[in-house]
Chain A
Amino acid sequence: MSERQLAFVFDLNKCLGCQTCTISCKTLWTDQPGMEYMWWNIVNTMPGRGTPRDRDEMGGGFDAEGRARAGVLPSAKDFGEAWDFNYEEVFYEGKGQSAYLHPRNPSADGKDEAPEWGPNWDEDQGAGEYPNSYYFYLPTICMHCTEPACLAACPRTAISKREEDGIVLIDEDRCDGYRFCMEACPYKRIYFNPDRFISQKCVMCFARLEEGVAPACVRQCPGRVRHFGYLDDEENDVFKLVKTWKVAIPLHPEFGTEPNVYYVPPLAPPRFDENGEIDEENPRIPMEYLRSLFGPAVDQALATLKLEMEKTRQGGKSELMDILIAYKWQNMFIPFVEDPGELSRPAPKS
């Protein structure tokens, strides 16, 4: 545990699954060699297999007694390879309409192997039976856990958690690429860079934080999903949503790492009964499913959310609703409100 902790709240009732967070991270950090297949931030459709696929069944984290749990080391295909495309063939090789652009797995070594999986492969597939289908979007990043399983697992002590803000960072100069961290991370948010033979993951955009600028995924989220700030700052949205209102809760609390990304769990429109009438009694998304993701706290979080929504619907005021509305966008990430466009950060001449 660090002295202070920066934390995120992702409001799933605003998330569009648009992957702008994903792209904002990709273009900032993971566009380097060896990182092609990395998506430190990804949004998955749930129910779904997640990224890497079946990540929830891959173990890691700690058990109820605080003992480390064994985990699986995912393959590149589990994460989704960075596909190749035959642009050249389609555009320039004189094949006309006999060639068409399509993705192929690079690991197939020249063979024309069609991908069977990718980081967002099961997007919008969902579950349930129409018209009572259900699904929602779940963004995940490194949770910068209070008790990071990755840090605990590393035999090189290459992973540290910073005292002043709780950022979990892999020291790439110490990392020997053993990948125990990848096995141990229960959220499976650590990737392996085969070119540099090191593990890499979200760095919470610390370089931006140092300049007072919010992380890219936070600042670039067009759905205004992401609140960000110090977990002990009582004036901050994050504090209020997590501690005061308790509507923001961790994903898989049973993993035991005390993650610092909190989620406002998803509501859904009511389902229909067999006569086609609205059935307000039974939720569209089964509570059992939500509990399997967010633990038992999800019941109270949703109840509070509904209660406060009802207040504004009746014309009343609700502090909680005002926070979630986020009238002023910058207030979502106090004190990291600087505009990067106003900064001067000249690049060293190569």
Chain B
Amino acid sequence: MARKSAFEKAEGTAERYRNRWRWDSVTWGSHCVDCYPSNCPHRVFVRDGKVVREEQAGTFPVIEQGVPDMNPAGCQKGAMWSQMLDGEDRVIYPMKRVGERGSGKWERVSWDDALTDIADKTIDAIQEYGSESLVRIGEPAEGGTQVLVCASMLVNVLGGITTDVQAEINDFSPGLYITYGKFDPAASVDDWFHSELILIWHCNPVYTNIPWYHYVAEARYNGGEVVLFAPDYSPSALHTDVFASVRPGTDAALALGMCQILIAEGLYHDDFVKEQTDLPLLVRTDNRHFLRASDVDGGRDDQFYWYDKVTKSVVEAPRGTLALGDVNPALSGEFEATLADGSKVGVTPVFALLRETLDRDYTPEKASEICGVHPDVMRRVARTAARKRTRLLMGWNSGKYYHGDLMERTMALFLGLTGNWGRKGTGARSWAVGWYEGMFAPLAKAKPGRQAARDMQKMQKQFLAAMKAEDPTMTDEIAVVEQEYRNARMGGMVPAVFFWYYHCGFRERWNKAEWNDPTMKRTFDEYIEEGIEKGWWEGFRTPDEKTPPQVIFEIGSNVLRRTRGGQELLLKELWPNTKLIVTWDWRISTTGLCSDYILPAAQHYEKTNFCYQTPHIMNLTFSDKAVEPPGEAKSEWQITLALAKKIEERAKARGFTEYETRGITRRLDNLYNDLSKDGAYAEDERLMDEMVRDSATFGVLPKGTNLATMREKGFVRFTDWGVSSMTLAQASELKPDEAHAPFRNHTEKKEPFPTLTRRAQFYIDHDWFLEAGEELPVHKETPMQGGDYPLLLTSGHPRHSIHSMNMTSKLILQTHRGHPSMFISPEDAKARKIKNNETVRMYNDVSSIIIDTKVSALVRPGQVIVYNGWEPYQFKDWKGSENVEPGMVKWLHLAGGYGHLRYRSLHWQPVPIDRAIHVDVEKVKPKRIAKAKAGAKRSGSRKRKTLARA
């Protein structure tokens, strides 16, 4: 509907504006970053060979009638990404440090020189300490195929290890995992619209879900209620119906108080509880363990029992289905069971034990004393949830508390009692990936082409069939999970806990009794030793105490920013013993500044790439190459191939071409051909096309999908879940015209859960849990991590940046204060005579940092908030708030050998804690410590004369 119209006298002006909005070409782009769920399709506009702008595509169709569409997915970071292509922190030439690490002295080197040195040191490391001294810090900061595949492939083929992403970033939901045997239910975002009650809990979607928050607001207009549970009157409180202020770290008490109400008032969903949960299962009163077939008749250790009110007998609870059949299991009462030796033992349902605990410790009044939420508010929410489709809109905040597992177990319990999963608009929320099955296939299969893909798929199917033949009660999901437990022991990705324990200096901290929970009966060392002795962590204890990491590859991520415990610890403990640290990135991160090399990577819009995929969005999203990378920047795949070629060349020259890792022979003399499949994938385009085609072959994408079809539409909706554990964990049918709500297979098809008891499991009779008094979910106070200080430091993702990626962008910096801020309540500021925007010291027994205040009425007195994402180099002395975090892990997460409490990638393992750290804050004198020398060189608009930009 072109509608040209003159601006009469101002035509000269009008024409200039018209000419500003012109372009030579348009491509599809997205930002393949780990902002989760990412995947916002954009149009990228190129003019005079330069990306000038991008704009959300807004081309999503309506999926489900009566549900708003997902347009225009995006945020301010995505809308300015093009500005970062030539940002001040961009790297476009290989850089080698010439001073001490971190000294900021660099020289530009050729790719050949850089890769030769890196290849030689890599070979040195393998020769001296074995290939598991090559470490890639596992992080998905770059969430694109280029990084995920390319980076991991290089380390994999060399036999190096990748520390578990989940441990590194701790976006685990440990309590959901303990309950469901999976942490990753992830409804599509449009399913949020179906909710009648949204409990925003441990989440700040107004900051962190900018593209999708509208579904919360729209669900509310649609008749839903929105409640925020949080310590602070966070931005996500603004558009709610109830804001309930919770004392930090007491969410379990709040949830349990509401659970008590549900049971005491008879509001709980009896059928749902009996069918879906372990609450009817019988527990022996003598030893508090489940009654097992191994007790009763010497049978399976994972066969459990309930008491059938119809036949009035103790009977086996089926493992292969959640369907009750003719049984009506008791939820209360004490019964007698006969053991194999003929002796009798008292048994009672978990529900009875739970009720006893709730009535004793968590009446609303008692819970209120702990958490500070008024009992009537608890009653209001509990009663509503019992009637309404209720969603827990969680982020990954709870899991970052010391007792986050307990919080999440109680939150899941609240859902279970109100019948709130496996229906549209309900359930907990975490994350899932793993859908794009073709992503790893081109490199894993025997040779390029469709037949090899079909052969691969056939093998996988046969493998699953074999697993199910072993145990016919397995669903596909359970079989895949079981396969993952077994595969985990083959190396590659390993839990990070031993890396930290042996090599990064955390051992001392974790053993500090005063920073741990008082119910931790023994030292951390004793637990870790027991875990090792019992073989729970066999195969994962690497790099072990005898293998100091020699080479660290940091690819598209930033370990020195992110590590809880701070770069202080890593620089002191890990850095000096490591021979080579290489960062691949498109920008200068703190880790890059402390590395030996920074290898310049292509940015988004400068390479062909796909974003990782998630059930939140249900699409594969394409990010095309709109322009060539500047300078000598290369895509990650091209860097991978170049380095492989160089390692091969150097290995041959040095006559070291073969070695063994974990019994597997690895060869270096054909590395390039192994990776590129004899050059078939030498070009990014070809590799990316093969991934898409393989995915179509596997059936997860529509037939005929390829790179060319992706170029037409920019995204494509998945058509099948495939066979990854995280997609099967969704346990729902994938429908083209419906929003995705997880767990429907559990409620509708009665498929069992991948837990020890095959049900949503609230009772954990692992010895350590019994010892700790955590067999049932309870509330425990957050330990005094960091020492005895009056303020609690909480944090969270910022509004302004995806991790640290946008935090140093000049444009974004000007949309806030441009420097790190600590939110503090007016009350606490006044007590310390601290003003707004004043430089202060935040300190505890771990460390101290310098930061400016933001005195804000939204903060709960007693709380201070430093949102994450700042580069350490934006703080004085490069010390960000992560330095006052001790980086504790909860000892119970070392438990193993128990059903689903076993390690597999991205799942059960110790994860670092960073919430509710005890600190204090004091004035700093003189007031402005930031007086750099007058006339210090400013970047300004002045032309930069730097190595990176020369």
Measuring CB to CB, which residues of chain A are less than 8 angstroms from any residue of chain B?
13-14, 16-20, 22-24, 26-29, 31, 80, 82-104, 106, 110-112, 114-116, 118-121, 123-131, 133-137, 160, 162, 164, 169-174, 203, 205-212, 216, 219-224, 266-270, 272, 275-278, 309, 312-315, 321, 324-330, 335, 338-341, 345-348, 350
Residue in chain B with minimal CB distance to A90: B873
Main secondary structure of the interface of A (DSSP, over half): loop
Contact assessment for A23 and B2 in the assembled complex, using a CB-CB cutoff below 8 Å: no
Specify which of B799, B827, B938 is in contact with A86 (CB 8 Å cutoff).
Answer: B938
Distance from A200 Cβ to chain B, minimum over Cβ atoms (Å)? 10
Distance from A308 Cβ to chain B, minimum over Cβ atoms (Å)? 9
Distance from B42 Cβ to chain A, minimum over Cβ atoms (Å)? 9
Distance from A266 Cβ to chain B, minimum over Cβ atoms (Å)? 7
Residues of A within 8 A of B105 (CB): 94
Sample 14 A-B pairs with CB under 8 A, ordered by A number: A23-B811, A86-B936, A100-B873, A102-B819, A115-B818, A120-B815, A123-B817, A130-B859, A173-B13, A207-B14, A220-B74, A222-B75, A224-B217, A278-B376
Specify which of A95, A120, A124, A209 is in contact with B856 (CB 8 Å cutoff).
Answer: A124
Q: Mark B557-579, 1 if CB is under 8 A from A, else 0.
A: 00000000000000000000000
Q: With A100-B874, A219-B72 in contact, do A206 and B17 touch (Cβ < 8 Å)?
A: yes
Q: Does B444 make an interface contact (CB < 8 A)?
A: no
Residues of A within 8 A of B855 (CB): 125
Contact assessment for A89 and B23 in the assembled complex, using a CB-CB cutoff below 8 Å: no
Residues of B within 8 A of A164 (CB): 5
Contact assessment for B932 and A99 in the assembled complex, using a CB-CB cutoff below 8 Å: yes
Contact assessment for B2 and A212 in the assembled complex, using a CB-CB cutoff below 8 Å: yes
Complex: A338 Cα to B21 Cα, angstroms:
15
Residues of B within 8 A of A133 (CB): 233, 857-858
Contact assessment for B76 and A121 in the assembled complex, using a CB-CB cutoff below 8 Å: no
Specify which of A28, A100, A125, A171 is in contact with B876 (CB 8 Å cutoff).
Answer: A100
Distance from A95 Cβ to chain B, minimum over Cβ atoms (Å)? 6
Residue in chain A with minimal CB distance to B819: A102
Contact assessment for B948 and A312 in the assembled complex, using a CB-CB cutoff below 8 Å: no
Residues of B within 8 A of A172 (CB): 10, 12-13, 16
Residues of A within 8 A of B377 (CB): 276-278
Residues of A within 8 A of B931 (CB): 112
Specify which of A118, A210, A329, A341 is in contact with B26 (CB 8 Å cutoff).
Answer: A341
Choose among B220, B222, B815, B871 the residue with the greatest number of A CB atoms under 10 Å from its CB: B815
Residues of A within 8 A of B4 (CB): 210
Complex: A174 Cα to B48 Cα, angstroms:
30
Given contacts A89-B932, A103-B819, A120-B816, 11 further A-B contacts (CB under 8 A): A87-B88, A87-B89, A92-B106, A94-B104, A118-B816, A118-B818, A126-B857, A210-B18, A219-B72, A327-B67, A350-B48
Residues of B within 8 A of A266 (CB): 238
Contact assessment for B374 and A18 in the assembled complex, using a CB-CB cutoff below 8 Å: no
Count contacts between A and B, CB distance < 8 Å.
375
Interface residues of B, CB < 8 Å — how many?
A: 135
Complex: A275 Cα to B7 Cα, angstroms:
62
Contact assessment for A278 and B221 in the assembled complex, using a CB-CB cutoff below 8 Å: no
Q: Mark B857-876, 1 if CB is under 8 A from A, else 0.
A: 11111000000000101111
Distance from B78 Cβ to chain A, minimum over Cβ atoms (Å)? 8
Distance from A138 Cβ to chain B, minimum over Cβ atoms (Å)? 12
Complex: A348 Cα to B104 Cα, angstroms:
43
Q: Does B342 make an interface contact (CB < 8 A)?
A: no
Residue in chain B with minimal CB distance to A209: B3
Q: Mark B480-508, 1 if CB is under 8 A from A, else 0.
A: 00000000000000000000000000000
Choose among A18, A23, A124, A210 the residue with the greatest number of B CB atoms under 10 Å from its CB: A124
Q: With A88-B937, A130-B861, A327-B62 in contact, do A224 and B875 touch (Cβ < 8 Å)?
A: no
- Which among B208-216, B516-524, B532-540 touches the partner chain? B208-216
Contact assessment for A87 and B930 in the assembled complex, using a CB-CB cutoff below 8 Å: no
Residues of B within 8 A of A348 (CB): 19, 22
Q: Does B648 make an interface contact (CB < 8 A)?
A: no
Choose among B68, B206, B239, B871 the residue with the greatest number of A CB atoms under 10 Å from its CB: B239
Contact assessment for A103 and B237 in the assembled complex, using a CB-CB cutoff below 8 Å: no
Q: Does B225 make an interface contact (CB < 8 A)?
A: yes
Q: With A92-B948, A329-B72 in contact, do A210 and B858 touch (Cβ < 8 Å)?
A: no
Q: Does B264 make an interface contact (CB < 8 A)?
A: no
Residues of B within 8 A of A17 (CB): 206, 235, 799
Q: With A19-B815, A27-B82, A169-B7 in contact, do A130 and B858 touch (Cβ < 8 Å)?
A: yes
Complex: A92 Cα to B262 Cα, angstroms:
62
- Which among B50-58, B249-257, B275-283, B749-757 touches the partner chain? B50-58
Residues of B within 8 A of A171 (CB): 7, 9-10, 12-13
Residues of B within 8 A of A19 (CB): 76, 815
Complex: A17 Cα to B53 Cα, angstroms:
22
Q: Does B854 make an interface contact (CB < 8 A)?
A: yes
Contact assessment for B79 and A220 in the assembled complex, using a CB-CB cutoff below 8 Å: yes
Residue in chain A with minimal CB distance to B47: A347
Complex: A345 Cα to B245 Cα, angstroms:
52
Q: Mark B33-63, 1 if CB is under 8 A from A, else 0.
A: 0000000000100011000010111110010
